[in-house]
């Protein structure tokens, strides 16, 4: 099937909208994950011969992932990133931890789940990131449904909270000379109104693929701050037990392999987990 012919096939996105299937988009996602041209071409040929009008993007992703996993285990982990983030659970804490680690790779010192005093009321800030005299006050909007974008109501609300905090901090000597930025971080996307309002008010807007080239997926890939939910060698139960103890990032395991001991893995399985993380974080395919 040629690229032009593939455009006649409409697929259903998470939002319910339809768009033409694009082999170029599929190729780009596979190559971003580290698949070589031979594997990429094989998977595209398979998907093109199998796909039908109306198919959901998730079904197409699942097939591509299984094909990739059968050929390139570690590359499949990187390809799974978006789904893996949605498997972090419904508490929101693991996502806050992930965002804080991503900000640390940008040179910030971070705190999570901090209760701070505003001029009028107290606020719980999901992530506070500080570098020099610049401080980012971040609200994390985590979703397990890719079809639910963050609306303009969120930056409207966050802006008022940040203003209350800033007005208080401007009166405190320890924040003399500081400048503050409000931030919204999400694993899904923003509506166009949310982006317009946020950028108009100098807010830092971070979504799965926004800003273009510096979205959450780009920052995670570049810094290799992968969540443990990408791993194949741990079961869902294993991952949940680790996250319950605050182990969210693969590098936390390699930094302290003893965190795996409560899982009662065999020595062989423990080595497999550590090797999988090593290959993943060293960008090996």
pLDDT band at residue 128 under the 50/70/90 scheme = very high
Q: Where in the chain is the domain with CATH 1.10.150?
A: 226-281
- The whole-model pTM stands at 0.77
Higher pLDDT, 156 or 58: 156
- Give pLDDT tens digits for 214-229: 999 999 989 999 999 9
Give the list of residues 6+ apart from residue 207 with CB closer than 8 angstroms, or none. Answer: 150, 185, 186, 187, 188, 189, 190, 215, 216
- Give pLDDT tens digits for 69-100: 777 656 777 778 888 998 998 888 999 999 99
Please give the pLDDT value at position 73: 59
Tell whether the model's pLDDT for residue 174 goes beyond 70.
yes
Q: Locate 137 and state its tokens.
A: 């006050």
To the question of domain 226-281 being in CATH 1.10.150, the answer is: yes
Mean pLDDT to the nearest integer, 136-165: 93
% of the chain residues with pLDDT over 90 = 66
To the question of domain 93-223 being in CATH 3.40.50.2300, the answer is: no
pLDDT band at residue 282 under the 50/70/90 scheme = confident
Q: Where in the chain is the domain with CATH 3.40.1350.10?
A: 93-223
Q: How far, in Å, CA of 199 to CA of 212, rounded?
A: 14
Please give the pLDDT value at position 248: 95
Average pLDDT, whole number, for the chain?
Answer: 90
Please give the pLDDT value at position 283: 59
CB 178 within 8 A of CB 134: yes
- Give pLDDT tens digits for 1-58: 334 444 579 999 877 888 899 998 898 888 877 788 888 898 899 899 899 999 998 8
């Amino acid at each position: 099937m040629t690229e032009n012919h593939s455009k006649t096939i409409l697929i259903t996105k998470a939002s319910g909208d339809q768009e033409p299937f694009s082999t170029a988009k599929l190729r780009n996602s596979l190559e971003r994950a580290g698949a070589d041209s031979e594997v990429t071409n094989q998977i595209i040929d398979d998907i093109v011969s199998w796909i039908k009008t109306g198919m959901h993007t998730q079904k197409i992703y699942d097939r591509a992932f299984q094909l990739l996993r059968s050929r390139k285990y570690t590359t499949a982990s990187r390809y799974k990133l978006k789904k893996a983030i949605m498997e972090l659970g419904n508490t929101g804490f693991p996502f806050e931890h992930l965002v804080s680690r991503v900000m640390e790779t940008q040179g910030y010192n971070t705190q999570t789940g901090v209760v701070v005093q505003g001029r009028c009321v107290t606020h719980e800030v999901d992530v506070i990131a500080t570098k020099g005299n610049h401080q980012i006050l971040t609200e994390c909007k985590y979703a397990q449904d890719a079809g639910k974008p963050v609306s303009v109501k969120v930056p409207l609300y966050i802006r008022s909270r940040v203003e209350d905090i800033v007005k208080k901090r401007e009166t405190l000597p320890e924040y003399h000379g500081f400048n503050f930025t409000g931030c919204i971080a999400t694993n899904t996307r923003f509506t166009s109104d949310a982006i317009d309002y946020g950028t108009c008010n100098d807010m830092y807007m971070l979504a799965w693929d926004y800003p273009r080239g510096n979205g959450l997926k780009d920052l995670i890939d570049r810094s290799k701050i992968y969540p443990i939910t990408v791993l194949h060698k741990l079961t869902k139960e294993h991952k949940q037990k680790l996250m319950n103890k605050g182990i969210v990032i693969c590098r936390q395991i390699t930094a302290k392999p003893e965190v795996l001991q409560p899982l009662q893995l065999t020595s062989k399985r423990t080595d497999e987990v550590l090797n999988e993380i090593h290959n993943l974080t060293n960008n090996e395919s």
